[in-house]
Structure 1
């Protein structure tokens, strides 16, 4: 099976694939192209292939995402224990966010799981990622339509662009029942050593909890954000 080769190899080319499987190079190339068209693989600039984020749920063998998982997990455990709320960690894959880590302390109604996709425009996690995405990604996401999950979902171009600008200036994003009624979240970006946004981190819980202690929760999130970013500095696998 071609996909099983990626369990021990982050990158593989047609020649190596053909040698391992014992098939002609042309056959190996066709299989790799077919998996790319199906969204399971993506080509690199050097003519090799790697697993996409779509395959994270199946194997979690994408080195860049695994590195993020390892950096985030323990700080997030401490955050969940400290706040007694749920915490999510995600990256952007084109027009979606993809969950890398999901930890919970309270009965979580989001039903998100690692590898699952969710909306960029209706979640705090997603809005952080969208706020720091290239302008063409933002335009394409808006052109696809902004689905209204609840009466609070941002569903117009003007409101979304205004909020993305606010997120960039204040460093946080909020989801005020925009994805699920009764649930509120706050999210912050996770940056690499050159300042680029690699992922986003959130705290989420029932709306009444946020009304009571928003400032404290924002402080707790900032502490964890800084812990994760500090752990990313020493060694950084390339996402490219």
Structure 2
């Protein structure tokens, strides 16, 4: 009788989890690591946060949070500003985040097209995807103009008050859009689409014309024009946009800018495997 040697490294199948893994049990989580990730996420969502503010927000003791922060600081994941006594994301976090960006060809493919879009329009060009009900900005090429929009990679913005966000929302299925709207549509300016009816009417326009317009819906004095990026299956996976001050982007300029943005989005879509020779109907 022949026996199979399961311990032979040459024949052992690589595994992504232990043999006795039970995904629904709490034994697979490390509470201290879970706490550290919550702390890291909170620090990341703020432009500097003090230990006392962090303690109040998370309901944890300052001593416990300080141990977490100093551990993360040893790995350069966070860093402290001694003069303001605030904690910030560190260079180590950037290096980890960069590994994610390197993993996706979307960022690499879009970069030269974003630069060309900026040069063609004279306005800042942006790339974003949906992440937990927000736009996650993955890339940006800034205009050379002194007044400009700024969304560094990693920035999160509400979907319903963003050019890219509305492009992504326009292709949500009905159930998903209803869930998003039922959570509440926060108003940021008088222009923000704060009701489900207003949002749905705007999204219908996005689908019919192929681009969205954020007309001072997040920040007064700023406009954004965005178009969808599709994959090989025709699914909308991201958005590309230009954004700038209303002093440079007035209503008469929107059609020309939209044409440039749509062309850039089509180029990225083509590079991602989408066909340019057939119209998409949703």
On whether the aligned pair clears a TM of 0.5, the verdict is: yes
Aligned to 2:121: 83
Q: Decide whether the 8 Å contact of 2:147 with 2:245 is kept in 1.
A: no
Among 10, 13, 17, the residue aligned to 2:16: 13
Q: Decide whether the 8 Å contact of 2:216 with 2:223 is kept in 1.
A: yes
Q: Decide whether the 8 Å contact of 2:192 with 2:216 is kept in 1.
A: yes
Q: Decide whether the 8 Å contact of 1:185 with 1:202 is kept in 2.
A: yes
Shift of 1:58: 4.2
Bigger Cα displacement from structure 2, 207-216 vs 99-108: 207-216
Distance (whole Å) between structure 1 residues aligned to residue 147 and residue 30 of structure 2? 40
Aligned to 1:216: 256
Root-mean-square deviation over aligned CA pairs:
3.3
Bigger Cα displacement from structure 2, 107-116 vs 196-205: 107-116
- 1:207 equivalent to 2:246? Answer yes
Superimposed CA distance per residue, residues 131-175 of structure 1 (whole angstroms, 9 cap, x where no aligned partner): 112323322221221111111111111101111122122211101
Shift of 1:84: 1.2
Q: Secondary structure at the residue paired with 2:106? A: helix
Taking structure 1 as the reference length, the TM-score comes to 0.73
Distance (whole Å) between structure 2 residues aligned to residue 37 and residue 193 of structure 1? 38
Q: Decide whether the 8 Å contact of 1:190 with 1:229 is kept in 2.
A: yes
Q: Secondary structure at the residue paired with 1:185? A: strand
Per chain length, whose mean CA-contact separation is higher, i.e. which structure has more relative contact order (CA < 8 Å, sep 6+)? 1
- Count of residue pairs brought into register by the alignment: 201
The alpha-carbon distance between structure 1 residues 65 and 87, as it changes in their structure 2 partners (threshold 3 A), is: farther
Aligned to 1:70: 108
Distance (whole Å) between structure 2 residues aligned to residue 221 and residue 70 of structure 1? 18
Taking structure 2 as the reference length, the TM-score comes to 0.63
Aligned to 1:137: 176
Structure of greater Rg: 2
